[in-house]
Structure 1
Amino acid sequence: MTREMQVTFDCAAPAALAAFWAEVLGYRIQAPPTGFDSWDAALDAMGVPPERRNDASAVTDPDGRGPRIFFQRVPEGKTAKNRVHLDVRAASGLTGDDRLAALEAESARLVVLGATRVRRVEPEPPLGAGHIVMRDPEGNEFCLD
């Protein structure tokens, strides 16, 4: 039996980090519940006070193929390297110089959105095609692959 999967980020600012990852992945901020025109209207109806409205956010794949990504506010900051990280497949099907050029272009786009470039790992044939290590605006590591 297969199961649905959700990826969860602990973070300080769920709405901002959700917006960043929506842009990275081509996802959308999750729509409000049925019957509500906005999240503010839904949260009003649920009795959520304004100061708690950035406690959580989520993004979803508009095509319904990828996992939902959930962002939840936690009081502590990030303290160590991630043991699990996302690989953003920014150069699927490309090889050699074309692959590295696509990774470089995506790295530049994400830096404008608030990511930090950490380092480029050069190709090491036959198995290593090269990748770029990045950090999201809250310091979570991910790779452009």
Structure 2
Amino acid sequence: MAATVQITFDAGDPAALARFWAEVLGYELEPPPPGFASWDEALTAWGVPEERRDERSALRDPDGAGPRLFFQRVPEGKTAKNRVHLDVRTASGMRGEERMAVLEERCAQLVALGARRVRRFEPDNLDGGHIVMQDPEGNEFCLD
């Protein structure tokens, strides 16, 4: 039996980080469960106090192909490099300067959304070139 995958992010501000990744990936906020017009309505029905309603957020791929992303509030900040990261496939199939131009354009867009550029890796015989970045909370990812 095949398993499904959910990618979970620990976050200081789950809603803000979810909005960032929704923009990056073209994902959408997960809608409230059936029978509820909004998440506030669902959380009220479930007895979740208002002060705990911003502890989690979730995104889904509108095409249903990609994994669900889940964001959960944690008290501590990020302290070390990620052992796993996302490769955001922005220039698949492209090579050379054309590829790097597309990556640079997307990098500038993501910096405007709150990401930070870390390092550019030039194309070589093994790698078409990529840019290492960090999301607004410091999680590393690559534009590939």
TM normalised by structure 2 equals 0.98
**CA deviation vs aligned residue, 1:27-79 (integer Å, no higher than 9, x gap):** 00101111111111111111111110111101000000000000011111100
Q: Write out per-residue CA displacement over residues 7-30 of structure 1, whole angstroms, 9 at most, x where no aligned residue.
A: 000111111100100000000010
Superposed, 1:113-132 pairs within 5 Å as 113-125=113-125, 127-132=126-131
Distance in 2 between the 1:12 and 1:142 partners? 18
- Work out the CA distance in 2 between the residues paired with 1:115 and 1:53: 25
Alignment of 1:85-100 (within 5 A): 85-100=85-100
RMSD: 0.7
Q: How does 1:65-80 map to 2 (within 5 A)?
A: 65-80=65-80
- How far off its partner does 1:98 sit? 1.2
Classify the secondary structure of the residue corresponding to 1:139.
coil
The amino acid of 2:55's aligned partner reads D
SS at 2:92's partner residue?
coil
Aligned to 2:139: 140
SS class of match (1:118): strand
**Separation of aligned partners in 2, 1:64 and 1:112:** 28
Following the alignment from structure 1 to structure 2, what is the Cα–Cα distance between the partners of residues 16 and 47? Answer: 24
Distance 2:69 2:24 in 1: 12
Structure 1 segments of 4+ aligned residues over 4 angstroms from their partners: none
Aligned-residue identity in percent = 69
Residues in 1 aligned to 2:62 and 2:52: alpha-carbon distance in whole angstroms? 27
Where does the alignment leave 5 or more consecutive residues of structure 1 unmatched? Answer: none
Cα distance in 1, alignment partners of residues 102 and 47 from structure 2: 46
| SS across alignment from 2:36 | coil
Aligned length: 144
> Could you say which residue in structure 1 is the equivalent of 2:81?
81
Provide the rounded CA distance (Å) in 2 between the counterparts of 1:93 and 1:39.
Answer: 40
Alpha-carbon distance in structure 2 between the residues aligned to 1:117 and 1:107: 7
